[in-house]
Structure 1
Amino acid sequence: MSQAGRQVTPPPSGGRADEIQIDILQHAAGMALVLAAWVLVFADQGRAAFFALMPGLLILALTGCNRIRFRPALEKAVVLAGAWTVLTPFLFGFAANDAATWAHVVAGAVTVAVATRRLRIARAS
């Protein structure tokens, strides 16, 4: 049994590895928001802490549900939660606190970008 005549085809690029990276980034963004109130020391500001904690928990919950079975509607909700997170410092008056603003904007932007990428991967499949 010679294997000289067989061609080995490489696995498709991306695919599952992209989904794993996306899951990790979404989870990290959600955890960053949940922990931001304590890590960035703006827990003494109630609004900033609340608006970091609530979207962070929502993103973690939706990402966890999507790991069980992917649903585009849940991923779209993650996009909305990320967009909301980006806007909250400006809508609720704590944009003067640089640490809180950057935490919200960066984590929200990462969430939106990653969820949008996941939707594109799902659409291409």
Structure 2
Amino acid sequence: MSMTKKEQRLRRSRQTRVRIALQRVARLAVHRSNLHIYAAIVSDDGTQVLASASTAEKEVREALGGKGGNVAAATAVGKRIAEKAKAAGIEKVAFDRSGFAFHGRVKALAEAAREAGLQF
């Protein structure tokens, strides 16, 4: 039985989630769609979202001129999530790429967040 693309991605993400849960740190979860990229920092027990940023936010959309599906947009979201995390007093996170390849937009988001001072 063949799996859909989404099922394959979710299967890949499962082991990562287990490993991150053992680390007892907040996780920076990333979701990528064709139009947008989203980042959320989830508490170490997985119960609440401590900070989030995405290209669907009004300010971000205006700054990017509506183009949320490219590397420049991902970089902006990475920067923004790091700033919001700092404001919430979070320094260390585990990067959860949710089964997406660490490449292109996902990589750009991660590197921007690192540069803006998030540790992972």
- Same fold per TM (> 0.5)? no
TM-score normalized with structure 1 length: 0.30
* Higher-helix-fraction structure: 1
Query: Which is higher, the Rg of structure 1 or of structure 2?
Result: 1
Q: TM-score, normalised by structure 2?
A: 0.30
Give 1 or 2: higher strand fraction: 2
